Amino acid sequence: MEELISCILSQHTSDSNSFPAFTRMRAAIPSWEQTATMPVNNLADVIRGAGLANNKAKLIQACLIEIHNRLGAYSLDLLDDLDDEEARSWLLSLPGVGPKTAAITLSFALGRHAIPVDTHVYRVSRRLGALPIGVSENDAHPLLEKWVATGDAFRYHVLLIQHGRKVCKAPTPDCLKCPLTDLCKAHQVHGGDTKAIAGFGKPKKSKASRK
């Protein structure tokens, strides 16, 4: 439960903002029942440092209330008895839970074969050729989980984040320092053209999205 609620709190902000806010929330409001039933404005005040506090407070309460309505408790123990896809579907049916939040909960809290696709994992996977050209970030989750060997999902997630932060950066990948150029689809196609590599595999924007 802590992993799930922490993920909702971390949406659209950095870990440096969301982690302290979660710690403050758990210290100030020690039970999930209190978190779910207190005035939403009070909860928003506690988590203000995480950004979008009013919206996140509503989502956190809606998620907790829905879990309690279904199970009669503020607990996710039932996930232990579900297979990976059943557990994912159950989590995705909760308010405020998308593919990334579900994957983080499955991977970090339950040790399941799930790959949370953040901006680094998505970018590096595209450039390496692990994803088809133009696939969206949300659609990347099941594709990467099929591509990565069972047992390697967590390592893949962590290593690609590190590689994306240090080498395969968003605006200008540092291909001269990259040990993966012989495996990298973008580098094979564009050589040392870092500008072309930076945009490799991105979904094309629709006319509506460009307006």
Domain boundaries, the chain: 2-110, 119-203
Instruction: Quick: pLDDT tens for 147-198.
Output: 999 999 999 999 999 999 999 999 999 999 999 999 999 999 998 899 999 9
**The predicted structure's pLDDT at residue 69:** 97
Instruction: pLDDT band for 68, please (50, 70, 90 cuts).
Output: very high
CATH topology of domain 119-203: Endonuclease Iii, domain 2 (1.10.1670)
Q: Which of 196, 192, 112, 123 is nearest to 154 (CA)?
A: 112
Instruction: Quick: pLDDT tens for 133-145.
Output: 999 998 999 999 9
Instruction: For the chain, give the mean pLDDT.
Output: 92
Pair 29, 43: CB distance under 8 Å: yes
For the chain, what is the radius of gyration of the CA atoms? 19
> Cα dihedral angle (94, 99, 101, 105), rounded to 10 degrees?
90
Q: Which pair of tokens denotes residue 116?
A: 């949370």
Instruction: pLDDT band for 1, please (50, 70, 90 cuts).
Output: very high
Instruction: pLDDT band for 113, please (50, 70, 90 cuts).
Output: very high
Give residue for tokens 């696939």: 135
Superfamily of domain 2-110: Hypothetical protein; domain 2 (1.10.340.30)
Instruction: pLDDT band for 205, please (50, 70, 90 cuts).
Output: low
